[in-house]
Amino acid sequence: MPWPFWENGNAALGAARRHRGAAEQKCSELILMGLARARFCELLSTRLKSNTDLFLMGLLSVMDAILEVTMDVLLEQLPVERETKAALLGQNSSLRPLYQLMLAQDRVSGRNRANSPNN
């Protein structure tokens, strides 16, 4: 008969592995989402003839979740343009409508993926 400690240890190890696997999958999904958002913003920036790095705004939109910090703490550490920071923080900004469009497009894309025959 195995020791109770060993049984608990195996259960804890299994749970830790499952958690790590789920965390890695979540992180991978967030990275892909960030890249899709970044590309969407980049494509719009050429149409808008914007001098702002909109690719960066799209990429940063998920970094708080990936790094598990609040967006304001994250942005304090980065040299990002004021308008980009304001949009990411939900404040008034000339980029806020574009940011909201990016989020709306992301929601629509997510629904389309969820309803695809491959899922």
Distance of CA 24 to the CA centre of its chain: 13
pLDDT digits (tens, 9 = 90+) for 24-50: 677 789 999 999 999 999 999 888 888
Q: What is the mean pLDDT of residues 65-70?
A: 93
- On whether the CB atoms of residues 30 and 65 are closer than 8 A, the answer is yes
Q: What is the pTM of this model?
A: 0.72
Residue 65 carries which side chain, given as an amino acid letter? A
pLDDT of amino acid 82 = 95
Residues 76/89, Cβ–Cβ less than 8 Å:
no
pLDDT for res 28: 86
